[in-house]
A and B are shown apart, each in its own frame.
Chain A
Amino acid sequence: MALLPLLFLALSFFLPLWQVLSQGLKAEGRWTAARLAQLLSDPYVLHLLRFTLKQALLSSLFSLALGFPLGWLLARYDFPGKEAARAFTLVPFVLPPITVALGFILFFGNSGYLNRFLIGLFGLSSPPIKVLYSLWGIVLAHAFYNAPVFARFVSAAWEGLDPGLTEAARTLGARPFSVFLTVTLPQILPAILSAFALVFVFCFLSFAIPLALGGARYATLEVGVYLYARVYLDQGQAAALAILELVIALGLTYLYIRGGGIFTSRGQVGRPQATVKLFSRPRQLFWLPYLFLSVLVFLGPIGAVIADSFTRPWQGQGPTLAWYGMLFSPAQSPFIGGSPLASMALSLEVAGMTAFLALGLGILVCWALRRMRSVLLEALLMAPLAVSSVVLGLALLFAFRRPPLSALASGPWSIVLAHTLIVYPLVVRVIRPLWQGLDPALVEAARTLGAGGFLAFLTVELPLLSRGILVAGAFAFALSMGEMTAVAMLSRPGLVTIPLAIYHFLSARRFGAASAMATILILTTAGAVFLWEYMGRRLLRGQA
């Protein structure tokens, strides 16, 4: 049973991946490390490597700084529109990089809303904020993408804590800050580390954002893989570079899993955490600067894209609803290879099925890992996240050209399966720390009382993991909504997801229509995530 998910992964992922990567270890038909050695002596590759690590570290730290307070806010405070805000935190995660870049340019750019406002306010002659087209533009955009990951992980862990512990500490006379430091923080540390590992790997493999907001001067290793694979058509060098990337990304993951285990705490899920009304005490005014900053960073670019979909001139006229009219006019259907409504339906269908399958696969993998504790195995199972997206695209293309997966090559199933492979490691990362934190005595008790392994899982462990499952499902759904690499590789005429439609509109110079489509992606995703969490929380409450 435990071997089932592994077998599936071996056939659909590791085998095709090996076929692509092994080219990097071969030259003229023989095994050799010559290509790797050659790469490590290439000054441009070393420059890319240094820069990639530097921006990933800065980006992860900045994401943590921006995301942790958000998670805290969501876990501990009550405010109007909290559930909507929670659903909205996943929106940055789903936006295609090209839309994020547009949002950043429209908001933070030289002629962006922020600079125009400041110029008008202080009567300046040149834009005061010059954050784009530099390392800091990249860091800011990565934080925009990844701070929500920290927020989600932190709030899920925090909400799962037993309030009895903090209350006990308070009763014993500890001040709130030292309670946080000595009781709360150690318990949510595994979630923070888990998020850090994920975010670091995301930023490490980031491709489009550094290019779009920094430009070619700030290229990452992934750009190198892209160049070898797509521009120089040298699959051997591309594979060698991808191996280098993979080794580093997996190495980081491995280190984290080894180290992370030390911090794993035995969280108990008892009654839910009490929440405090925001701004019910004067010292909570400390939240104001943070809220201001996060509104600027998160809502600014998203708002700019939404505003753009209404204000971008249509035949010299603006503001206008014409871009939305364009989306729904039948004449536009051939432009994007399908109607926008069909794109929405397809995206929702694919994301829904992906969330379902990825949860199933992810839970099975967690379960298998619980039986066979192996750090190496766990790191290996992170591989789809740690693989360069260019190589992943090639591997998937190969995978779907040979049995058994070739049977699914047409229709949305190929995309669903590809997305499942891409997102399940994230499901594992969310659920696994929670599962490790469960007290084995609970299951043992259930088994002592005569429950079988599966029954014990269903009735004891699963309900305790439900918060994590809820979060993981939302992530899986959102990632699938915004995914581009696999879709571009596997799409067939008539199979156009929303991000692909955005991309088509952009290359067709219909920038306003692209913004309108991006607005639809934002609203659809936020709406669907909101519904998923709302239903989930109702269900949880019904159980409790």
Chain B
Amino acid sequence: MRWILGVFPLLVAGACLGAELVVYTYDSFVSWGPAQAIEEAFEAAHPGVDLVWVAPGDSSEMLARLIGERAAGGTEADVFLGIADVELPRALAQGAFQPYSPESIPNLAHVPAELLFDQTGHVIPFDHGYITFVYDSELLAEELIPQSLEDLTRPELKGKIVLEDPRTSSPGLSFLLWTIAHFGEEGWLDFWRDLFPNVLTVTKGWSEAYDMFLAGEAPIVLSYSTDTAYSYIAEGSLRYRVVTPDGEGYRQIEGMGIVSGTDQPELAHAFLDLVLSKEIQELIPTSQWMFPVSSEAELPEDFARYAVIPGHPVSLPPEYVAEHLEGWLSEWQRLLVGG
């Protein structure tokens, strides 16, 4: 409780200087996402209100920071944008979010029901994407393109796959969950045992893995199903191609919610509504390189042609994941170090 003394003068100072809406999000949402467009639209609609992005880390770092600050007595954040579906149970258990009022968010009506991943009414989706594999068409022979997950274990692919760590990166975690969904709780460890010899390295995060892939270290990388669309639209290249083994890919939904105890509930609701508006949602494909959640939003032509929605999207219920994750990760890490 002593912490409050430190934070309190800051809060008072904030109130005197005009309203401020502080949004915690992850770094890339600000660096290449639609953050600036949102800020301009929001500040135009609410004169005198200052929208402040705080984004010095990735999604899980920022969530840890939010939870840590709340535990230490208080946070400046009014809204948290960018919580992954798998992290939802943990955030809810910590009471990080307060329930939203649907009637204050008219644009929510355009979000299909199957994307509303939080049944408890705290967190709303704002985009979704699919984790799958990307290959380098100049380095990988056509007959080695993995058409199924089992293909990934072929001996010809020894040392040719770069993966991300499920403990530290969201694509990595998605793939772990994908294999559990695909092979079942009995079979997934056997698959990984066969897969590991083909894995050149397991990186901490997506940037490292993709950079290795671009540098030609390995011809296959675990990445996003929009990568071909990205390299075509941004660089005019079709060298890097998406493949969906067994027609599958793991679905990631990103959500946003109002931080418990905010002093700006009206502004926070207006913010959520704005992010779901047609204008902002149509910026999602070519800034976030994810799919918009609003059925109103239209996809750019090249994006629609090259971004892949897998025929069989895979996902596991967040509560089921939350219950078993620690056990799965410790079995995975035992296998990783050869135990």
Which residues does A use to contact B, with CB under 8 Å?
A: 43-44, 47, 98, 101-102, 105-106, 109-112, 132-133, 208, 211-212, 214-217, 226-227, 229-233, 313, 315-316, 334-337, 394, 397-398, 401-403, 406, 409, 487-489, 491-493, 500, 503-511
A133–B27 CA distance with the chains assembled, in angstroms: 28
A358–B67 CA distance with the chains assembled, in angstroms:
32
Check if B104 is an interface residue, CB within 8 A of chain A.
no
Q: Say if the beta carbon of B316 comes within 8 Å of chain A.
A: no
Count of chain A to chain B residue pairs whose CB atoms are closer than 8 Å in the complex: 153
Report the minimal beta-carbon distance from A41 to chain B, rounded to whole angstroms. Answer: 14
What is the minimal beta-carbon distance from B337 to any residue of chain A, in angstroms? 5
7 shortest A-B CB distances, which residue pairs? A111-B216, A215-B201, A216-B202, A508-B32, A406-B6, A402-B6, A508-B31
Chain B nearest CB: distance from A269 CB in Å?
Answer: 45
B64 interface residue per 8 A CB criterion? yes
Given contacts A47-B337, A492-B54, contact A507 B31 (CB under 8 A): yes
Measured between beta carbons, the chain A residues less than 8 angstroms from B36 are 334
Whether B35 contacts A334 by the Cβ 8 Å rule is yes
Q: CB distance A507 to B207 under 8 Å?
A: yes
| Stretch of B241-249, B300-308, B328-336 on the interface side | B328-336
Of B108-116, B184-192, B230-238, B268-276, the one contacting chain A is B230-238
Residues of A within 8 A of B52 (CB): 493
Across the interface, do A403 and B6 meet the contact criterion of CB distance under 8 Å? yes
User: What's the nearest-Cβ distance from chain B to residue A176, in Å?
Assistant: 46
Chain A contacts for B339, CB-based, 8 A: 43-44, 47
Whether, in the assembled complex, B204 has its beta carbon less than 8 Å from a beta carbon of chain A, the answer is: yes
Give chain B residues whose Cβ lies under 8 Å from the Cβ of A506. Answer: 207, 211
In the assembled complex, 14 residue pairs joining A and B whose CB atoms fall closer than 8 Å, in A order, are A44-B330, A105-B215, A109-B217, A111-B215, A211-B203, A231-B167, A334-B31, A403-B6, A491-B56, A493-B52, A493-B53, A504-B28, A510-B32, A511-B211
What residues of chain A lie closer than 8 Å to B319, measured between beta carbons?
none
B212, CB-defined interface residue at 8 Å: yes
> How far apart are B135's CB and chain A's nearest CB, in angstroms?
15
Q: Check if A98 sits within 8 Å of B207, measured CB to CB.
A: yes
* A residues less than 8 Å from B57 (CB atoms): 488
B228 vs chain A, min Cβ distance (A): 13
**Within 8 Å of chain A (Cβ to Cβ): is B30?**
yes
Nearest-neighbour CB distance to chain A for B310, whole angstroms, equals 22
Chain B residues whose CB sits within 8 angstroms of the CB of A106 once the complex forms: 215
- B64's partner among A47, A229, A511 (CB-CB below 8 A) is A229
Which residues of B (39-85) have their CB < 8 Å from a CB of A? 52-58, 60-61, 64-65, 67-69, 72-73
Contact check, A233 vs B208: say whether CB atoms are below 8 A apart: no
- Cβ distance A521 to chain B, nearest Cβ, rounded Å: 17
The interface centre, meaning the residue of B165, B212, B230 with most chain A CB atoms within 10 A of its CB, is B212
Within the complex, the shortest CB–CB distance from A532 to chain B, in Å, comes to 29
In the bound complex, CA of A406 to CA of B210 (Å): 39
**Given A313-B235, A402-B2, A508-B28: A488 touches B61 (CB 8 Å cut-off):** yes
Q: A44-B330, A214-B201, A401-B6 are in contact. Are A110 and B234 (CB under 8 A)?
A: no
A217 near B6: Cβ-Cβ < 8 Å: no
Interface pair A509/B230, CB less than 8 Å apart:
yes
User: Quick check: A227 and B168 within 8 Å, CB to CB?
Assistant: yes
Rounded to whole Å, the gap between the CB of A448 and the closest CB of chain B is 51
Q: Is the CB of A230 within 8 A of B333?
A: no
Query: Beyond the given A505-B31, A509-B32, could you list 12 further A-B residue pairs with CB under 8 A, ordered by the A residue number?
Result: A101-B208, A133-B201, A211-B165, A211-B204, A231-B168, A335-B32, A402-B3, A406-B10, A409-B10, A506-B207, A506-B211, A507-B206
